[in-house]
Structure 1
Amino acid sequence: MNHAPANDITLRFDCSGVDWEQACTIFERAPLGTRKPDRLRTTFENSALVCFAWHGGRTVGLARALSDHVVQSVIYDLCMLPEYQGSGLGTRMMRAMLDRLETPNVQLHSVPGKEGFYERLGFCVMRTAMLLSADPEDMRRKGYIR
């Protein structure tokens, strides 16, 4: 794999200049499923905090968070191209997000099997999280719910 050093990558916290087709490709290659460009753009523009990793003029990673800016925040969609996974970029992006959220409680949804990454950042597995999903069977297949 071509691991670019995380410090050669610029983090930006706005949606300007993002190629949403390319962002959808990142989700597919991560692999975190298929997204539609207009819908993905809207979810990021409506988020309290966004983080984009740029390398060589292109987006290579992205994340977003919702927040009440007082007590609770939730991080969603941390993902990057596979060739950047394992380079320290995910840790750098998460720390940058946590520094900017400034709420005492931050939750997130992890891809099954990636919990250890978040535990190394201080996150604890919750026993009481619940989900009401439009497609619970799909969520079961993916390992998110019982």
Structure 2
Amino acid sequence: MYQYFNGLVIREGTEGVPAENVEALFQDAGWARNTPSWQMEKYSLIFTNSTWAFTVWDGEKMIGMVRVLSDKIMAATIMDLAVLSEYRGKGIGKKLVELCLQKLPHGDWFAHTSANNFSFYERCGFEVKDLSQNGTCAYYGYIQARKVGHR
């Protein structure tokens, strides 16, 4: 499935997302650097193993993406949302979040993000809860790949 948004094409699907395009988005976002060739496949596999995904294209150039992990019943998490810096501020990220929310309209949604993106998600309808109020806490483990500079 695909649709048009402000002259761009948004494609839905987890298959066939080119690894080099994902790496370029991750590098632009500051999430990846100097990926060894033997690790490039992971950028396609993260999509293949995701529940839902959308990519945004300006002609042949992938300029945005989002991927979601979900049980498809109660909860879903936006794992990665990235838009090339030169395309930010044009509503693309918000549109991607809206498309995600349509996949599970009555479920609980979470966003795996950094603190500097809280305001973006608040504008999309997410709430940043005071952890002392709801007792929810997330812990992150750092595996060896992270320690040696591979995401």
**TM-score normalized by structure 2?**
0.78
Q: Which runs of 5+ in 2 are unaligned?
A: none
| Separation in structure 1 between the aligned mates of residue 8 and residue 91 of structure 2, nearest angstrom | 11
- Out of 73, 78, 88, the residue aligned to residue 76 of structure 2 is 73
Q: Which runs of 5+ in 1 are unaligned?
A: 1-5, 140-146
| Separation in structure 1 between the aligned mates of residue 14 and residue 140 of structure 2, nearest angstrom | 29
Residues 50 and 67 in structure 2, CA contact (< 8 A), matched pair in contact too: yes
Change (3 A) 1:64 1:97: same
Q: Matched residue of 2:41: which SS? A: helix
Task: Give structure 1 regions of 4+ aligned residues with deviation exceeding 4 angstroms.
Answer: none
Shift of 1:122: 1.1
Residues 23 and 37 in structure 1, CA contact (< 8 A), matched pair in contact too: no
**TM-score normalized by structure 1?**
0.81
Q: Which residue of 2 aligns with 1:24?
A: 23
- Out of 87, 110, 127, the residue aligned to residue 113 of structure 2 is 110
Q: What is the identity percentage for the equivalent residue pairs of Structure 1 and Structure 2? A: 28
| Separation in structure 2 between the aligned mates of residue 77 and residue 17 of structure 1, nearest angstrom | 17
| Separation in structure 2 between the aligned mates of residue 106 and residue 134 of structure 1, nearest angstrom | 24
| Relative contact order, higher structure (CA 8 A, sep 6+) | 1
Q: Which residue of 1 aligns with 2:11?
A: 12
Structure number with larger C-alpha Rg:
2
Q: Which residue of 1 aligns with 2:138?
A: 130
Corresponding letter in the other structure for 1:8: G
Q: Matched residue of 1:33: which SS? A: coil
The count of aligned residue pairs is 132
